[in-house]
Amino acid sequence: MSAKILGGLKKGLIFVISAPAGTGKTTLVRMLQKEFSCLVESVSYTTRKPRPGEREGVDYYFISEAEFAQKLQEGDFVEHAKVFDHDYGTSRSFVESQLQNGKHVLLVIDTQGAIQLKDHYNAIFIFISPPSISELRSRLYTRKTDTDQSIEHRLSWAEKEMALAPRYDYHVVNEDLYTAYTVLRSILIAEEHRNR
């Protein structure tokens, strides 16, 4: 079959995805990548230390604060932000080369970074949220990857991020994974077929 449901553009699109921790964004992004080979997720640079199991160049490029400051000064980031006391940035050269190769680029970044891109890139902005803060609280406590204090900190940040959801083009509520995935993939397909 030569016709493609996704991946038929000469120059790809940027899809910015923001979602509080515990919303299921990693699972949803993996599902998209498994279905569509024309999607690439940008690997960010961060000054945070790797968590157990995280791999250099796969999850993040882990760099020092001095290296981050240097890259920032050289204009290597299309956006950057401080999240939970660490710096994160998206590589300009990666994003631009992938778009030129006809790939769609997924940027899974926080709301501060997304807002910076709004003024400079013609990207599509998607916010994924949990059904409620109380549901998110119970998911984070069940996941047990953070201390209680860190969970409460993440929840208060999640509330602030969720207040910005109306500024995104799309808002997907992940109450049920299959439904959220169906909505998400429909957005990508429709956006590729939009007249621009």
For residues 158 and 192, which CB has a smaller minimum distance to ligand 5GP in the complex? 158
- List the one residue out of 41, 61, 5 whose CA is nearest residue 189: 5
Least distance to ligand 5GP, CB of residue 75, Å: 15
Residues near 51 by beta carbon (within 8 Å), at least 6 away in sequence: 145
Residues engaged in binding ligand 5GP (CB under 6 A): 21, 44, 48, 79, 81, 83, 88-90, 108-110, 112-113
For residues 69 and 189, which CB has a smaller minimum distance to ligand 5GP in the complex? 69
Backbone angles phi, psi at 33, to 5 degrees: -65, -35
For residues 7 and 33, which CB has a smaller minimum distance to ligand 5GP in the complex? 33
Cα 145 to the center of its chain, rounded Å = 20
Indicate the residue whose CB is closest to ligand 5GP.
Answer: 113
Backbone angles phi, psi at 105, to 5 degrees: -110, 125
Least distance to ligand 5GP, CB of residue 99, Å: 16
